[in-house]
């Protein structure tokens, strides 16, 4: 057996910021060296950020990525870090034959490079390209056809990229045939609820199948609608957990392993297994001198009952990175006294700090006294500045203008006008003062169209867009409970949580006047949207036929609204953005 100390850098790159991302890699290499690591791995496409989407189709971007990796190898050597093998993801292009029918122009690849002694020792590319959910990798990349096996300190290390681990065959089969001592998996695996349990089980199963230890390094941070939680981990050949990094924070996870030394067994260099050519390279043949290993760290997962807390941390991470990476110095939230805006404000304060959160109260003629007082109490508890702009005079001016043109407004048109006046005002403040406006709508409202286009739906980012209304309440209660446990004042007024939800666009209005009970509604919506069950399947599952037909009607008719909505952090297996793409013009209703 040979000893090997590996370092997994759970980092937060930014798409397109090649110079900034290279600095992250160099810093990780320095820290890994300081901790005595023999091998450093960083996430999938750490050099470019991930996902790059159609940036992969720009030749200038691909060329810049390739040059950056070679420059990185040289810089590591110049800083005295060249003898530390660094495995990093980047954007490359397939060498060899020209354009092929049905493949992306320029043949870009989701690639990995091993950097050593100032040079690129070997490169390879992701073999399995996911084309489901949020992934469009068949659109953006061409697959790789090699499995690199790099000998590091006498240990044969195989390298795979993200989906290569999730799919049967290919790199998994080749790694087993190559008799690797360690399989290194580079990942940009987006967060969704309960995925951490599935991820661990997958890594344990693959390690047992290959008969080798497995190290899984994942990205952390937000990128548009996606958020990455890290959760990097190492398991041994029997699938036992050896080390695990925390979620939603940058971390250098270092683990000491006892691994089989590479020998003459296994598929040789140039051998082909399951369509992949095994490419062997040696960066350091001799095992390290025996040393006293450190105690490996396994960060405990949160209690299973705090799954809601995990979601909350994902929402905070997603909003923080969207704000910071897009250069916004502050955010603006229209606070109504209701639960949605209260939770949005709490997430914003936790994400960017109270001094960078600006609230605005926009009471109308129908706003209740408790709505105004609850919104003021929210701002006081969370410590952010809030101003009040009464919208009644503006609404009256619009109504007068419409009546003067022979089109007096009443009913739904009059209700929506109030929401649109609010939307106009918050966007005006955004333009004037440079704030990022946060839309406060939840998934139940977005699904059913229970929002006003260009009204309460306006904003640059929607933090709770992927949260059912029932989850919004759970998140608010969890956040308050966390504050109480820490001896702090709960950030969300209890009345905002307990009172019946209302848009307050007409006298004594309640959500229940026009929508089913949220617990029932959310269950039907989750089945219809989350699993694509049709009307017959939903009725067979026990839901009321008339309710099912009504909900389907609401969802289908609101598609055009959702196409115009702000992006928001994805936390579910299927959100209403990248995950679900349906035609607006559509007469299929069952």
Can you give the three-state secondary structure of 316-355, one letter per residue?
Answer: HHHHHHHHHHCCCCCEEEECCCCHHHHHHHHHHHHHHCHH
Grade residue 583 by pLDDT with cuts at 50, 70 and 90. confident
Place of tokens 């791995």: 41
pLDDT above 90 as % of the chain: 76
Specify whether 258 is located in the same domain as 313: no
Residue 488 has pLDDT above 90, yes or no: yes
Look at residue 424 and tell me if it is in a domain.
yes
Of the candidate ranges 368-377, 464-473, 530-539, 569-578, the one whose mean pLDDT is the lowest: 368-377
Report whether 340 belongs to an annotated binding site: yes
Specify whether 403 is located in the same domain as 261: no
Specify whether 213 is located in the same domain as 93: yes
Residue 196 has pLDDT above 80, yes or no: no
Residue 510 has pLDDT above 90, yes or no: no
Grade residue 103 by pLDDT with cuts at 50, 70 and 90. confident
Average pLDDT, the chain: 92
Three-class SS state of 561: helix
Place of tokens 């006081």: 380
Mean pLDDT of 85-90: 98
Q: What's the confidence (pLDDT) of residue 506?
A: 63
Grade residue 99 by pLDDT with cuts at 50, 70 and 90. low
Specify whether 226 is located in the same domain as 142: yes
Specify whether 27 is located in the same domain as 66: yes
Residue 83 has pLDDT above 80, yes or no: yes
Per-residue pLDDT of 301-359, as tens digits, reads: 766 658 899 999 999 999 999 999 999 999 999 999 899 999 999 999 999 999 999 99
Query: 467 catalytic, yes or no?
Result: no
Look at residue 569 and tell me if it is in a domain.
no
Specify whether 110 is located in the same domain as 151: yes
Per-residue pLDDT of 111-151, as tens digits, reads: 999 999 999 999 999 999 988 888 888 889 999 999 999 99
Query: 117 catalytic, yes or no?
Result: no
Specify whether 437 is located in the same domain as 337: yes
Whole-prediction pTM value? 0.93
The secondary structure of 425-437 as a DSSP string is HHHHHHHHH-PEE
Report whether 132 belongs to an annotated binding site: yes
Specify whether 253 is located in the same domain as 134: yes
Per-residue pLDDT of 61-71, as tens digits, reads: 999 999 999 99
Pairwise CA distance, residues 287 & 278, whole Å: 22
Report whether 239 belongs to an annotated binding site: no
Q: What's the confidence (pLDDT) of residue 55?
A: 94
Domain, as residue range, for 166: 2-282
Where b means 16+ CB within 10 Å and e means fewer, 49-80 reads bbbbeebbbeeebbeebbebbeebbebbbeee
Q: What is the CATH number of the domain that holds 423?
A: 3.40.50.620
Neighbours of 125 (CB within 10 A): 24
Specify whether 318 is located in the same domain as 198: no
Specify whether 382 is located in the same domain as 251: no
Look at residue 586 and tell me if it is in a domain.
no
Specify whether 266 is located in the same domain as 344: no
Specify whether 71 is located in the same domain as 120: yes
Look at residue 301 and tell me if it is in a domain.
no
Q: Report strand pairing: 155-161 vs 146-152.
A: antiparallel
Q: What is the CATH number of the domain that holds 117?
A: 3.60.110.10
Report whether 336 belongs to an annotated binding site: yes
Residue 362 has pLDDT above 70, yes or no: yes
Report whether 570 belongs to an annotated binding site: no
What is the tally of structural domains in the chain? 2
Query: 44 catalytic, yes or no?
Result: yes
Please identify which of the residues 75, 162, 251, 310 carries the catalytic annotation.
162
Look at residue 578 and tell me if it is in a domain.
no
Report whether 338 belongs to an annotated binding site: yes
Please identify which of the residues 67, 75, 78, 126 carries the catalytic annotation.
126
Residue 457 has pLDDT above 70, yes or no: yes
Please identify which of the residues 44, 137, 251, 377 carries the catalytic annotation.
44
Nearest in space to 4 (alpha carbons), one of 120, 216, 157, 185: 157
Mean pLDDT of 464-484: 96
């Amino acid at each position: 057996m040979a000893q090997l100390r590996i370092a997994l850098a759970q980092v937060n790159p930014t798409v397109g910021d090649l110079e900034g991302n290279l600095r992250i890699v160099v810093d990780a290499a320095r820290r890994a060296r300081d901790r005595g690591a023999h091998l450093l791995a960083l996430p999938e496409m750490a050099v470019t950020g991930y996902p790059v989407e159609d940036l992969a189709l720009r030749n200038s971007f691909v060329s810049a990525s390739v040059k950056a990796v070679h420059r990185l190898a040289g810089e590591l050597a110049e800083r005295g870090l060249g003898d530390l093998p660094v495995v990093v993801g980047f954007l490359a292009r397939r060498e060899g034959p020209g354009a092929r029918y049905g493949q992306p122009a320029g043949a870009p690849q989701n690639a990995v490079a091993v950097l050593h002694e100032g040079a690129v020792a070997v490169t390879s590319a992701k073999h399995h390209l996911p084309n489901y959910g949020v992934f469009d990798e068949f659109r953006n990349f061409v697959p790789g056809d090699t499995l690199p096996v790099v000998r590091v300190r006498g240990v044969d290390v195989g390298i795979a990229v993200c989906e290569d681990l999730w799919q049967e065959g290919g790199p998994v089969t080749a790694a087993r045939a190559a008799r690797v001592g360690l399989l290194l998996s580079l990942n940009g695996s987006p967060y969704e609820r309960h995925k951490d349990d599935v991820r661990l089980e997958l890594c344990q199963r693959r390690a047992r199948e290959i008969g080798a230890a497995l190290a899984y390094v994942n990205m952390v941070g937000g990128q548009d609608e996606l958020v990455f939680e890290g959760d990097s981990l190492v398991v041994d050949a029997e699938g036992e957990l050896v080390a695990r990094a925390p979620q939603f924070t940058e971390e250098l996870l270092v683990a000491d392993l006892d691994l089989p030394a590479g020998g003459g067994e296994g598929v040789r260099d140039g051998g082909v297994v399951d369509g992949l050519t095994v490419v062997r390279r040696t960066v350091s043949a001799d095992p390290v001198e025996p040393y006293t290993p450190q105690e490996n760290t396994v960060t405990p997962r949160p209690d299973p009952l705090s799954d809601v807390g995990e979601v909350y941390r994902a929402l905070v991470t997603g909003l923080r990175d969207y704000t910071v990476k897009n250069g916004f110095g502050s955010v603006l939230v229209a606070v109504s006294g209701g639960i949605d805006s209260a939770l949005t404000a709490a997430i914003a304060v936790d994400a960017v700090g109270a001094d960078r959160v600006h609230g605005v109260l926009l009471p109308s003629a129908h706003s209740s006294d408790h709505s105004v007082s609850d919104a003021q109490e929210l701002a006081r508890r969370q410590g952010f500045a809030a101003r009040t702009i009464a919208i009644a005079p503006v609404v009256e001016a619009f109504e007068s203008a419409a009546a003067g043109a022979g089109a007096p407004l009443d009913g739904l048109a009059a209700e929506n006008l109030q929401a649109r006046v609010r939307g106009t005002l918050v966007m005006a403040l955004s333009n004037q003062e440079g704030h990022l406006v946060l839309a406060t709508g939840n998934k139940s409202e977005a699904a059913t169209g229970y929002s006003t286009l260009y009204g309460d739906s306006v904003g640059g980012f929607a933090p709770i867009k992927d949260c059912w209304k029932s989850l919004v309440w759970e998140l608010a209660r969890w956040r308050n409970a966390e504050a109480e446990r820490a001896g702090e004042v709960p950030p969300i007024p209890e009345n905002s949580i307990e009172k019946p939800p209302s848009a307050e666009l007409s006298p004594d209005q309640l959500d229940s006047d026009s929508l089913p009970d949220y617990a029932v509604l959310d269950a039907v919506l989750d089945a219809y949207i989350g699993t694509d069950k049709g009307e017959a399947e939903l009725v067979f599952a026990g839901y009321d036929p008339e309710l099912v037909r009504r909900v389907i009607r609401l969802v289908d008719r609101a598609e055009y609204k959702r196409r115009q909505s702000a992006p928001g952090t994805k936390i579910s297996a299927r959100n209403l953005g990248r995950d679900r793409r349906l035609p607006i013009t559509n007469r299929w209703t069952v």
